């Protein structure tokens, strides 16, 4: 049985099924792009050759190349996308394909493609369309390889109309439409909570905490399960990662930052001392899911992008060290000492404490004024959790 697939990866417009101008299907979920999750399911369902057609530029492709073990990638924009799909179907049909699956990757669904092919063949129809539990189409079709005219009509009408009415295959499993950052975040949560078949791409170092290859978590940082730290990521001292957070590859969480219920895009930098919660973060933007707003940051010291170039990242770390150590060495050598010689034991016993000798007026003047809002620089404010 020769089963092949045409995967169409494109969004109808710039705001629907996209994040920061890129299809959500190209975004990582626990270390692997959504579209790769779909391609792997197709392979597991017995599909041989896969052609991926997308409007996205090659620079945004997962591997940045046109061919990998999962399929052959081709860029085509606008109407050319559907003409290319028609041509690929023609080639598959000419090569003797028995069934061609057509999948538009907007949503993520856990369809058993092997069962779909058997369902289509058992009923002997030209075309089978997949519907979700509510009766809505999932843009997934099984087409008999010899039905080139039916396929051409479907592509020319962008999967919205059929030349001849087919049969329906009802799917009642997991479906996430991936139309917004909310859906991307929900998919990450469902995966971390093991409600779906998505497995984190990393090692489970303790129950519910997965760490990708090359990731580094400072010994003074805290990671609370469930959580995912992607490959090459950095979680620095005193940082906290908690509540179903997914840090995709090469994310940097700087010192003292608390990350709660967050998904990051790859190469995201979160500055020091921040409190980031209930959001998707990346490309210098924050999509806050509770307030349903998107905010872009001009100051890269708060929310920025880590370099995608490994030598540049290493050079940046070296420059930071180079500027840090000389200043502290010189300060240690030449700064005046503030240490006082301790008194002898008899003097220490008989000398009254300085606080007891200070007048009430002096002590009052040293208390910060609440009315003026002036507080000492060493005032510490603790972050409150839960319902406190």
Lateral strand order in the sheet of 127-131:
67-68, 71-75, 50-54, 3-9, 99-104, 137-144, 127-131, 167-170
Write the CATH number of the domain with boundaries 200-305.
Answer: 2.160.10
The rounded distance, in Å, linking the Cα atoms of 173 and 140 is 14
Fold that domain 3-176 belongs to in CATH: Spore Coat Polysaccharide Biosynthesis Protein SpsA; Chain A (3.90.550)
Query: How would you classify residue 11: left for phi > 0, otherwise alpha for psi between -120 and 50, otherwise beta?
Result: beta
Domain range list for the chain: 3-176, 200-305
Burial class (CB in 10 A: 0-12, 13-18, 19+), 376: exposed
- Rounded to whole angstroms, the Cα distance separating 136 from 203 reads 37
pTM value is 0.79
pLDDT in tens, the chain (388 residues): 999 999 998 755 545 789 988 899 999 999 999 999 999 999 999 999 999 999 888 888 886 556 678 889 999 988 899 999 999 999 999 999 999 999 999 999 999 999 999 999 999 989 999 999 999 999 999 999 999 999 999 999 999 999 888 899 999 999 999 999 999 999 999 999 999 999 999 999 999 999 999 999 999 999 999 999 999 999 999 999 999 999 999 999 999 999 999 999 999 999 999 999 999 999 999 999 999 999 999 999 999 998 766 555 554 554 444 544 455 455 555 555 555 454 444 454 455 544 444 444 443 443 333 344 443 443 333 344 444 3
Tokens of 363: 């002590």
DSSP letters, 297-313, are -S-TTTEEE--S-HHHH
């Amino acid at each position: 049985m020769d089963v092949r697939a045409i995967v169409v990866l494109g969004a109808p417009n710039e705001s629907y099924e996209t994040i920061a101008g890129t299809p959500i299907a190209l975004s990582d979920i626990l270390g692997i792009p959504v579209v790769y999750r779909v391609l792997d399911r197709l392979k597991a369902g017995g599909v041989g050759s896969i052609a991926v057609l997308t409007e996205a530029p090659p620079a945004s492709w997962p591997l940045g190349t046109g061919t990998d073990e999962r399929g052959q990638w081709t860029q085509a924009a606008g109407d050319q996308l559907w003409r290319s799909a028609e041509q690929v179907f023609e080639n598959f049909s000419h090569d003797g394909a028995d069934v061609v699956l057509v999948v538009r990757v907007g949503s993520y669904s856990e369809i058993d493609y092997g069962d779909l092919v058997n369902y289509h063949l058992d009923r002997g129809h030209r075309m089978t369309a997949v519907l979700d539990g509510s009766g809505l189409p999932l843009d997934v079709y099984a087409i008999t390889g010899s039905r080139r005219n039916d396929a051409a009509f479907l592509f020319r009408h962008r999967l919205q109309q059929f030349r001849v009415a087919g049969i329906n295959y009802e799917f009642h499993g997991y479906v996430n439409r991936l139309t917004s950052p909310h859906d991307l975040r929900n998919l990450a949560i469902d995966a971390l909570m093991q409600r779906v078949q998505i497995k984190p791409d990393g090692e489970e170092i303790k129950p519910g905490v997965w760490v990708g290859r090359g990731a580094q978590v400072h010994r003074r940082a805290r990671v609370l399960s469930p959580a995912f730290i992607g490959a090459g990521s950095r979680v620095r001292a005193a940082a906290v990662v908690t509540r179903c957070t997914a840090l995709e590859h090469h994310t940097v969480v700087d010192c003292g930052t608390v990350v709660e219920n967050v998904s990051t895009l790859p190469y995201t930098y979160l500055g020091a001392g921040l409190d980031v919660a209930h959001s998707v973060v990346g490309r210098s933007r924050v999509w806050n899911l509770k307030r349903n707003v998107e905010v872009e940051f001009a100051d890269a010291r708060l929310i920025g992008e880590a370099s995608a170039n490994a030598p540049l990242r290493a050079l940046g770390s070296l420059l930071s060290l180079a500027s840090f150590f000389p200043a502290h060495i010189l300060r240690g050598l030449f700064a005046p000492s503030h240490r006082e010689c301790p008194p002898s034991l008899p003097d220490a016993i008989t000398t009254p404490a300085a606080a007891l000798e200070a007048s009430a007026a002096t002590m009052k003047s040293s208390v910060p004024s609440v009315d003026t809002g002036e507080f000492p620089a060493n005032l510490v404010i603790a972050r409150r959790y839960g319902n406190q």
